[in-house]
Structure formats: C-alpha cells, structure tokens
Amino acid sequence: MSRFDGKVAWVSGASSGIGRGAAERLAAEGATVVLLGRDEDRLAEVAASCGDAAVTAAFDVAVETEVDAHVPGLLEQHGAPDIVVHAAGITVVGALDALTPQEWHRQMDVNLTSLFLLNRHLWPAMVPRGGSIVTLGSTASFAGFPQDAAYVASKGAILAMTKAMALDGGPHGIRVNSVCPGFILTPNLQGYFDAQDDPAGAAAGAGAAAPLGRMGTPADIAGAIAYLASDDASFVTGTSILVDGGLLAKVPTA
C-alpha cells in the first residue's frame, strides 16, 4: 500500500517546475491529484504523467473571481483535499525602487494572495477531516537577494503565514508546514538568470554556491513535500524544511 492511497491532493502551480514535481510524486505514491494552473495544454501533459488519477483545472489562482468561479465546483466533484501544495509562484526581478506598482502587486498576488484565495474555500472543507498543507517558501524566506525585493518580501511573508495557519489548524488536525528550496532548476529560476547581466555566469554561480556543488531539481523538493504531506510527519506543524544543498549553512569566504 502506498502512502497516499485514497488521498486527494490539490497542487497549485502544477503545470511546471516544483508544482509539477510535487504532483507527479504524490500521484506516484497513490494520491488522486487536482492540478491547478493557467496553461491547459501543460496541465494536460502533467496529468498524463500522473496516470489515471489526475484532473486538471486551468485558471489563475491569483485572481479572486477565477478562484471563486472554479474551486467550489471542483470541491463538489472531487472532494475535500487531504493534501494541499501551494506551489504557484513567479519572480519579479528588481530593486524595490525600480518596481512599478503593477509589478509589485503581481508578485504578491501570485506568491502570497493566491494562498489566501484558495484557502478561503479549501480550509473549511478540511476542518472536519484534517489534513496537510505545504507552502513553498525559499532560502529568500531567511536571507535577501539583490535585485529581488518583491520576491524576497513574498517568501518571508509565506513563512510567517505558515506559522499562523499552523496555530489555527492544530485544533482541527490540519498541519501546515513550508518547504524552502534553494536554487532549483525550474523555468522560474531560469527567468531570474536570464534577467541578469551575465545569465550563464549567474547559473554557474548558483550551481557552485551550495556545498553539495549543484543546483537542485524539482524531484529534490518533491521528496520533502511528500514527507510533510504524509503520516510520517504526523507531529510536524508550523515549521519549515530547507532543501538548499547546504546553501544557508555556509558562511561566504570570498
């Protein structure tokens, strides 16, 4: 018997990167996965890799009207989640003074407000049964990066919100934790590299920065997500797991 047989897992940002990796891992261990994302074609591709136990819903989880239009029906069709993975995320590059209000709000809407919008529907459905919620923080939840102010702010907020949600969820058996990746080779990270003056140099530097000497993969993060979602973590809530190859354990020497 697999760890997630009979479980329903909702994954936002499921069309690529960490969200896709999480969905594929949970499905491989028996979960029925509800895949949320904006790109219908890419979601269909992920669903195919997840096998028969996958359904897709293409809408923008950062837009209130779209969330409100889609999520109640999905809950009615597929049932309350046992597992929720909030993996939707983007990176808006720029120092704080260089960002437009539109860029700031888009960064916060996707990375942070989407959790609030989905939670308004998913949390009440989980209260009678408990479950596990996994948010996606970052090494940027603990340390700043230059030219990345809005992203850093959003990831710091996610970590604080995770702790508050865990306190509210405890009496209902809802565990809430965060996985905080380091440099993980995803389309989102590649976009960050491409925005630098020397994209190849930025990528090489990221790969060399961690003591393990490489960038991570979505599969590396999926393992941590699966652990937090499982009964193996039944007494784990309100905390975060760094999956960064040792990046933040290192004091720079040069």
User: Which residues are identified as catalytic?
Assistant: 151
The separation between the first and the last C-alpha atoms of the chain, rounded to the nearest angstrom, is 50
Q: HSE-up of 185 (CA within 13 Å, CB side)?
A: 11
Burial class (CB in 10 A: 0-12, 13-18, 19+), 171: exposed
102: which residues sit within 8 A by CB, 6+ positions away?
Answer: none
17: which residues sit within 8 A by CB, 6+ positions away?
Answer: 87, 184, 186, 187, 188, 218
